Amino acid sequence: MNRIEKAFARAREENRAAFVSYLCAGDPDFDSSVEACRAIIESGVDILELGVPFSDPLADGLTNQLAAQRALESGSNSERVLDLVRAIRAFSEVPIVFYTYYNLVFAQGSEAYAERAKSAGVDGILTLDLPPEEAGEHLVACARHELKTVFIVAPTTPDSRLETICGATTGFIYYVSREGVTGEQAAMSEGIASQVEQIKQHTALPVVVGFGISNADHVQTVAQAADGVVVGSAIVNCIAENPTNRQAMSNSLRAKMDSLLEGNALAKIQ
């Protein structure tokens, strides 16, 4: 099994959902980003979703937009993102999935992008704005370099498209729990369990749920329905609050992770 498959298998063995955490690569600078990744990995992340900084992140709310801006202003680019992956691989075998926009893949070419990502230690790629119907070249490149693909299902996705989306996916399905962009929310969307069940009729792959998950109650709710829980903005905000104090940032990230996972929030309730 590859690292992504192992992470979900371990979570199943422990009767819990996997915890997927998002951070923007290079936020607020390279060395701080390495330490931010170390802090959340050591706090229990099963899969690390690394956002590749982009100047026009249409799927992201303000928190993640500002994270990308901080990263770009500090000099982050495609090569430095790969350097960050290599730095993480020096101390961790956590699965790493790139969260990126297709412009960044297209600029290099799918073949070159996949080859470089795999060589650095990436396990999968989520291309947010690439529909599976137009992803032929990308899918071939990922398969050739043994990179898992991740595609998104939205609340507005018609059932007729689920077969296509699931057929293009080799890693896990990412269900976006609400319409709109990323960002913390006070309350969870309704119907998550039924939507996950609908997706599972079309695939045997894990289904994770993200967007708007902000606290342990949210994590616990989603963990009962899905194979994985994705938290992004609530964690990224810890960096935004401490951009120039690396130790304070690390402490804040560890405390946030403890808060999100308190009460064994990922456990499946029988």
**Which residue of the set 27, 29, 46, 49 is catalytic?**
49
Question: Helices H, strands E: what count in the chain?
Answer: 12, 8
DSSP track, 201-231: TS-SS-EEEESS--SHHHHHHHHHH-SEEEE
5 among known catalytic residues: no
**E strands in the chain:** 18-24, 47-51, 96-100, 124-127, 148-153, 172-176, 207-210, 228-231
> How far, in Å, are 157, 227, 254 from residue 220 at the CA level?
25, 12, 19
**Which residue of the set 27, 29, 46, 60 is catalytic?**
60
49 among known catalytic residues: yes
Q: Which residues contact 249 (CB under 8 A, 6 or more apart)?
A: 32, 35, 36, 39, 238, 239, 241, 242, 243
Q: 19: helix, coil or strand?
A: strand
Residue whose C-alpha is closest to residue 136's, from 110, 161, 116, 118: 110
Could you give the residue numbers annotated as active site?
Answer: 49, 60
